[in-house]
Amino acid sequence: MSGSLSASRPRLSRAESQAHTRERLITTAMDLFLADGYAGTSLGKVAEAAGYSKGAVYSNFLNKDELCMAVLDRIRANKDTSLIEAMDTVDDPESLLRAFVSWWRQTVSDKTWMVLETEYLAHARGDAGLRRAVTERGAEVHRTLSKLLTTYLDRCGIDLPIPPETAVTALFGMAIGLGLLHSVDGETDLDALPAVARALVNAGKPDGTRPRTADPGAPLP
């Protein structure tokens, strides 16, 4: 029986097999990096958990830095997708803010990702080559987010008082910082980021209206 099933199952090509191995390694490494951090995860652990030899890891990734970067690329792509989905139907300033706050609250609850991002950035400081790679990845993320923000602002008729690129830098930096603080201190004011976003949006409304609340930084419901 097993022989007939094996014979009927199409064999993967070399490229397909390698892609399958790489995908399994990234998925496994993501679980380990998020659970144990960058320093606490070794290539040996990843290989064992994925059911491969350590050589299989090295045939797909140069080193742990490259594997962790692939993991972070995957997580960031997932975050981008969730942001696009949250913003898909926005067409006015209030719906834009509500969608952003909903995405932010979902994202900031992912403490392990925030910690891994910070740990990896700190690690990269000691390696010039890795710093360049991280900088290039960061610039790509920044361009993507800036384009998305510009699209949503245009759709909602909002003209920010600062360039969208500057807003992205500020909000992304705040997101990472608040996320890291929240991972240590659960009482961190996570509504600080929505408050800044609201202030920017209200300043850029076409009719120049101010927030309806007395406090321009009041958190959204």
Contacts of 106 (CB under 8 A, 6+ apart): 82
Answer whether 71's CB lies under 8 Å from 153's CB: no
Average pLDDT along the chain, 221 residues, taken 10 residues at a time: 50 79 96 96 96 94 96 92 88 91 86 91 93 92 91 92 94 88 89 92 71 40 41
Structural domain span for residue 56: 10-61
Cβ of 19: how many Cβ atoms within 10 Å? Answer: 13
Give CA angle at 97 (99, 176), nearest 5°: 80
| Same-domain status, 42 and 69 | no
Number of domains in the chain: 2
* Residue 106 confidence (pLDDT): 86
Is residue 110 helix, strand or coil?
Answer: coil
Question: The tokens 């926005």 sit on which residue?
Answer: 90
| Same-domain status, 29 and 137 | no
- Asked whether residue 51 is domain-assigned, the answer is yes
Answer whether 64's CB lies under 8 Å from 47's CB: no
| Same-domain status, 204 and 165 | yes
**Which helix H or strand E contains 26, and what residues bound it?**
helix 14-36
* Residue 8 confidence (pLDDT): 52
* Residue 51 confidence (pLDDT): 95
Nearest residue to 180 (alpha-carbon basis) of 111, 124, 120? 111
* Residue 17 confidence (pLDDT): 83
* Residue 109 confidence (pLDDT): 81
